[in-house]
Amino acid sequence: MSGIRKTGSRRRIRLGRAGRRRVQTVVMTLSVLMAVASAVVAGSLMASASAPFDTAFAKQHGAQLTAQFDEGRADAARIAATGKLPGVTASSGPYQVAQIDPPGPGGADMQQSETVVGRPAAGGGVDDITLRSGRWATAPGEIVLSADANSVGPDTKPGGTLRISTAAGSPTLTIVGIASSVTDSADGWVVPAEIAALRTSGAATGAQMLYRFSSAATTAQLNADRAAIAAALRKGSMVGAQSYLDVKLAADENTALFVPVMMAFGVLGLLMSVIIIASVVSGAVGAQIRRIGILKAIGLTPGQVVRVYLAQALVPAGVGAVCGVLLGNVLAVPLMGDAAQMYGGGSSAVAWWIDLAVPVAALVLVALAALVPALRAGRLHTVEALAVGRAPRTGRGQRAQRFAARLPLPRAVTLGLAAPFARPVRSAALLAAVVFGTTAATFAIGLTSSASAVTTARHPQQKIAVSVFMGGPDDGSAPAPGGTGGATAGSASADPAQIRAAILARSGTAEVIGQAQGVVSVAGGTGAIRVRLYQGQSGAEAFALISGRWFDGPGEVVVPTHFLDTTGSKVGDTVTLVDGGVQVRVRIVGEDFDPGNAGLTINTDMSTLAAAQPGLHPVFYDVVLKPGTDVAGYVSALRSALPSSGVQVGVNETGHLNPTVVAFDAMSVLLTLMLVSVAGLGVLNSVVLDTRERVHDLGVCKAVGMTPGQTLAQVLTSVAGAGLVGGAVGVPAGLALHDFVIPLVMRTAGSGTPPQVQDVYGLLELVLLGAGGVAIALCGAMLPAGWAAKARTATALRTE
Amino acid sequence: MANVIELEGVVKRYDSAGVPALGPVTLTVAEGEAVAVTGPSGSGKSTLLNLVAGLDRPSEGRVSVGGLQIDGLGEKALARFRRERIGMVFQFFNLLDDLNVLDNILLPAQLAGSPRGKAADRAAELMGVLGIAKHAGAYPGRLSGGERQRVAVARALINRPALLLADEPTGALDTASGHEVRQLLVDLHRSGQTVVLVTHDLALAEACAERTVQLVDGHVAVDRSRNAEVVR
Ligand SMILES: Nc1ncnc2c1ncn2[C@@H]1O[C@H](COP(=O)(O)OP(=O)(O)OP(=O)(O)O)[C@@H](O)[C@H]1O
Ligand SMILES: [Mg+2]
């Protein structure tokens, strides 16, 4: 309960009766509670999501740029000199590099080379390598493997060996440690002297150099840094460079998409409680002006008045903040369990600083929101304050009543219709609460729809019911579609064309899409770029397009937004891909929606790379079934029709719910509910204040024969207008906010926005949301309307 | 003559344990009678009036007005009862500030759903009789106390109630305005209106009412008609 202690006395001075303010106190407490809870959830998800990379990057002095140089064009001394260029704050290297082709975890041929760096020590000022087990390589014949390397499986441990068949004499290395580099600068490290023995004869020789810069916050800055280094050396010396932003993007794939959404919820929640607190306190001051006058007349100082009103806001807000932190923690922990999975191992406890910072920030905001009306109360002129309540009302309310009285509607309804005009400020606060609630609901629903559209767009393979994998060991560990597979002719014993024909022969088959994957680079320097190679033009697997079209034949590629940003190209441009030293010119015909981890994966027809890899054939077939085909029956029939070795048939769980989406949807629904409840509370508060102020007038009406039903109708119609207008303003506002935020969110994730993600609202949905404004207003008004209807008339008439 | 008001053993307690604010009181008021209720402050006069008006319910006893027992009625029935049978005038007028004089007077008729034309005619007639026709479009804030009270009386009478209740109708008025209102009540009574009037003002009681009921500590101490006198 608010009130102040008079110095030296035990008596508490109260402004307003406790019961009168119970609802306002509850409203303030709940709104702060909800805002703090959603901010805690949002904040902790954000922290747990972005912290791993950022923390590791800072701790390990991660390289902002990892550049590869051709030793044939620039010698070690010149490369090392680039570390002294202006703008470079730290560097490490150059380290000589070898490409090896080790067997995969199960002993399978991975068809993919790995980068081994000759590095004398794990430290070095930039990109400090963290040992997870074992020790650093100290002698020739020893190798430290990166935990992120494809060749490292769960049972790769120090003490094991690795045979390098690509190097002359097929040397065998002893694994002495497992380590990791935050920016993934190599797949393995050996002592510098070992490199020469690992190199394939005849291949180009390269070196790696690691940099940190004074300005490297954006891709543009990093591109400039990279260009400065390239310009300092002979043309063509730098053959590739990897930006830490790309790595971060990969690490933050889901974070980038979902955290801004969570933040939007938290910010909306806080804004809403600020509006509510400000309107509650100014409402309280407005309603108690006479009381303030009386108290000042009997000797309360302005300072004391200000303190009374601050306390009136801060006490319930404090309670709400504490409960909000508790609730936020309760909600965040299970959600973060999901988040920990989707963010790749975040901690599943809310960080202490969030539990501290969120409530403190909320209370500061509350104090500021309350301070303005509290100061007004403190400055109030005593005589004027005493005169309030005796003065005649404003002309606006009277004119509205005059107009409404002529409408051919029941009198109780017309009284309600005109009521908002008598108290323009209060009505504006009510309107603001409804507008905010509707905006929040519209925005939140749009976000949720967009998020699920993102997931659908990111997983176009969902339509694929059955996949047929070729080659690989027949031990059940076939690669999943979308995973890394070999791009070149492998150990497949079956003939791909035969397999394809066999699948096409099944009656349930609608379409067969042969696929392979490869790694290329772009001439002029990017890191490795993955290529999804399709046999033919597969509409079924097409990713959502942001602009342009899907490829239509060899020589055409569809690339994600991040590829365009990184290479500085646009749809319609021609770029040169480099695959195993062979240059292939391709035209970019479309920009697809493929953000995050796969940020640099491009799509093209398999025959595009025919010049570079003549033997290229599909490593798996995705099968689209005709509608109504029994999957289980189809699969068993297909299994018996295909050769028994070297081929596997897998069923994709198309109906399977993505846990990320489930978790995200749960959060969004929860936060939407919270926001809408807070909006409802804001309306409740406005109507409560309004009803309180009008309790005397309502008493008069009841004394002259207004029934409880008519009273209810009057109070409800007095807010219905605000509900309608609020809905009509709030829905477009929510829509505009959504259309503004979604592209921003997508930009953060390094992607453009496809129409499926942008245009998520249906007309019916919008109309319903608009009606939601009225619903919010009416729900908020129901309780006070009920009181007004039930209130004792005799009591009401006694109130001054 | 039929009784308009019948109170039988009526008790009103505001807190269940304590001394009743009123009663037990047994009292009847006949049709056409004018009764003044007097007594010291806090003696229960307003409480009595509220019970008769159906604004409050008795803790014990029976309240009948115009043959209708109202102590058991629901809120909706009570509201109907008030707008059909009771007209009330208060010390502080209780007009709605944002309605003009005409709309204030019309309000009970409109709430009762009376036809517009009929209500407007009745309002015009009352305003004429009460001498406030020229203020029809004015707002209560602009009127003098006496004028406001006349508006309140017009509002009370718009639905032709069987019973007019007035709680200190001159309490907030200067002497001249008080006289006007007194004369108004006298005229109303002469025209046959049953009136129950609460007042401190013995002159007003004397002028308006042929019967005076004096309350002391919630009990009827004196119930005196102009002719006979009964002391309890
Ligand atoms: N709503 C209420 N709650 C509690 N007590 C009340 C209430 N209304 C009246 N009382 C008490 O009941 C008693 C009678 O009050 P009432 O208002 O009827 O007196 P009154 O005769 O009208 O006085 P006055 O001449 O001052 O108007 C008083 O003691 C008063 O304090
Ligand atoms: Mg009284």
Q: pLDDT digit string (tens) for B5-49?
A: 999 999 999 887 788 999 799 999 999 999 999 999 989 998 999
Helices (H), A423-514: 424-458, 496-505
- Residue holding tokens 């309000």? B107
Average pLDDT (A609-620) is: 77
Whether A204 shows a pLDDT value over 80: the answer reads no
The Å distance, Cα B168 to ligand 2 centre, comes to: 7
Greatest mean pLDDT among A28-32, A185-189, A318-322, A581-585? A318-322
Better pLDDT: A101 or B108 = B108
Environment class of A653 (CB within 10 Å of its CB; exposed 0-12, middle 13-18, buried 19+):
exposed
For ligand 1, what atom is nearest to the CA of residue A792? Answer: 1
- CB-based contact (8 Å) between B139 and chain A? yes
- Six token digits for residue A86: 């202006």
Q: Determine the angle formed by the axes of helices A659-693 and A763-790, rounding to 10 degrees.
A: 40
* Number of C-beta neighbours around residue B30 at 10 A: 13
CB contact under 8 A, B76 and A789: no
DSSP state of B217: T
Of A392, A401, A794, the CB nearest to B142: A392
Residue A725 in this model has a pLDDT that exceeds 80: yes
State if residue B45 touches ligand 1 by the CB under 6 angstroms criterion: yes
Instruction: Walk across the sheet containing B3-12 and list its strands.
Output: B22-30, B3-12, B60-65, B68-69
Q: Which residues pair with B40 in a beta bridge?
A: none
B55 close contact with A: CB closer than 8 A = yes
CA distances (Å), origin A290, targets A90, A323, A395: 69, 34, 21
Range of the domain at B106: 3-231
SS3 of A513, please?
strand
A784, A678, A688: which is closest to A30 by C-alpha? A678
In order, the DSSP letters of A582-623 are EEEEEEEEEEE---GGGTTEEEEEGGGGTTT-TT---SEEEE
pLDDT surpassing 90 at residue B216: yes
Identify the CA nearest to A418 among candidates A724, A790, A720. Answer: A720
- Ligand number nearest CA of B37 is 1
Stretch A527-545: mean pLDDT: 72
Domain ranges in chain A are 1-64+218-238+248-391, 65-215, 396-461+658-800, 462-652
B14 CB near ligand 1 (under 6 Å): yes
CA separation for the pair B49, B26 (Å, rounded): 14
Q: Residue A750: what pLDDT?
A: 73
| pLDDT value at residue A6 | 39
How confident is the model at residue B178, as a pLDDT?
85
Contact A452, A742 (CB under 8 A): no
> What angle do the packed helices A244-251 and A219-232 form, to 10 degrees?
150
Per-residue confidence (pLDDT) for residue A479, from 0 to 100: 37
- Which pLDDT score, from 0 to 100, does residue B164 have? 93
Closest residue of chain B to A419, computed from CA coordinates = B98
Torsion (CA) A783, A784, A789, A790 in degrees, nearest 10: 80
| pLDDT value at residue B37 | 94
- Between residues A661 and A240, which one has the greater pLDDT? A240
Q: What is the DSSP string of A246-283?
A: HHHHHHTHHHHHHHHHHHHHHHHHHHHHHHHHHHHHHH
**Minimal CA–CA distance to A578: which of A536, A526, A616?**
A526
Query: Quick one: average pLDDT of A691-698?
Result: 75
Q: Are A794 and A695 in contact (CB under 8 A)?
A: no
Answer yes or no: are the C-beta atoms of A41 and A667 closer than 8 Å.
yes
Helices (H), A172-213: 195-198
Which residue type does A330 have? V
A positions 605-664 inside 8 Å of B (CB):
none
pLDDT of residue A471: 58
| CB within 8 Å: A697 and B88 | no
State how far the Cα of A106 lies from the Cα of A152, in Å rounded to an integer: 10
More confident residue, A479 or A729: A729
- Burial readout A679-691 (b: 16 or more C-beta within 10 A, e: otherwise): bbbbbbbbbbbbb
A624 pairs with which residues across the strands?
A511
Q: Which residue has the higher pLDDT, A349 or A761?
A: A761
CB A693 within 8 A of CB A287: yes
Average model confidence (pLDDT) for chain A? 75
Look-up of token digits 């901690």:
A347
Q: Give the integer Cα–Cα distance in Å for A287 and A291.
A: 9
With the CA atoms of A494, A498, A503 and A506 taken in that order, what torsion angle do they form, in degrees rounded to the nearest 10? -130
B228 CB burial (10 A radius; 0-12, 13-18, 19+):
exposed
Q: Could you identify the residue written with the tokens 């509205």? A: A400
Residue labelled with tokens 């060749």: A151
A405 and B99 within 8 Å at the Cβ level: the answer is yes
- Tell me how close the Cα of A392 comes to any Cα of chain B, in angstroms: 5
Nearest CA in chain B to A399: B98
Protein residue with least CA distance to atom 4, ligand 1: B14
Can you tell me whether residue A711 is helix, strand or coil? helix
Which residues on A lie below 8 Å from B22 (Cβ)?
none
SS3 assignment, position A90? strand
A569 touches A561 (CB < 8 A): no
In this prediction, residues A661-668 reach a mean pLDDT of 68
The whole-number pLDDT of residue A271 equals 75
User: Ligand 1: which of B43, B167, B200 to mutate, most ligand atoms within 8 Å of CB?
Assistant: B43
Residue A506, helix vs strand vs coil: coil
Neighbouring residues of A668: CB distance < 8 A, sequence distance ≥ 6: A261, A265, A444, A447, A448, A451
Q: Report which residue type is found at A441.
A: A
Output A420 or B120, whichever has higher pLDDT: B120
CA B90 / ligand 2 centre spacing (Å): 10
Closest CA to B93 of A691, A387, A790, A697: A697
Instruction: Output the CA B39–ligand 1 centroid distance in Å.
Output: 12
| pLDDT, tens digit, 9 for 90 and up, residues A350-372 | 778 888 888 898 888 888 878 88
- Cis amide leading into A94 (omega within 30): yes
Residues 72-131 of B with CB under 8 A from A: 75-76, 79-80, 82-84, 88, 90, 94-100, 103, 106-108, 110-113
Residues 6+ apart with CB under 8 A from A77: none
Q: Which CATH number fits the domain that encloses residue B109?
A: 3.40.50.300
**In whole angstroms, how far apart are CA A752 and each of A553, A599, A602, A734?**
24, 11, 15, 21
pLDDT at residue A38 greater than cutoff 50: yes
Distances (CA, A) of A493 to A103, A423, A496, A609: 19, 84, 9, 23
Ligand 1 in contact with B91 (CB < 6 A)? Answer: no
Query: How many domains does chain B divide into?
Result: 1
Looking up tokens 């067997």, which residue turns up?
A: A103
The strand pair at A130-134 and A188-190 is best described as unpaired
Reported as a pLDDT band with limits 50, 70 and 90, residue B68 is very high
pLDDT band at B61 (very low <50, low <70, confident <90, very high): very high
Task: Please give the distance, rounded to the nearest whole angstrom, from the Cα atom of residue B45 to the centre of ligand 2.
Answer: 6
Nearest to B110 by CA among A707, A566, A242: A707
Considering only CB atoms, which chain B residues are within 8 Å of A405?
A: 99, 103, 106
Torsion, CA A679, CA A684, CA A686, CA A689, rounded to 10: -160
Judge whether A405 is closer than 8 Å to chain B, CB to CB: yes
**pLDDT tens for each residue of A287-315:** 677 677 777 777 777 787 788 878 878 88
Terminal-to-terminal C-alpha distance of chain A: 23
The CA-atom distances, in angstroms, between B103 and each of A176, A404, B155 are 96, 11, 9
> In the structure encoding, which two tokens stand for residue A423, read together?
């108290």
H-helix or E-strand spanning residue A563: helix A561-567
| First-to-last C-alpha distance (Å) of chain B | 24
This model of the complex carries an ipTM of 0.86
Q: Which of A409, A704, A710, A714 to mutate to test the interface with B (most CBs of B within 10 A)?
A: A704
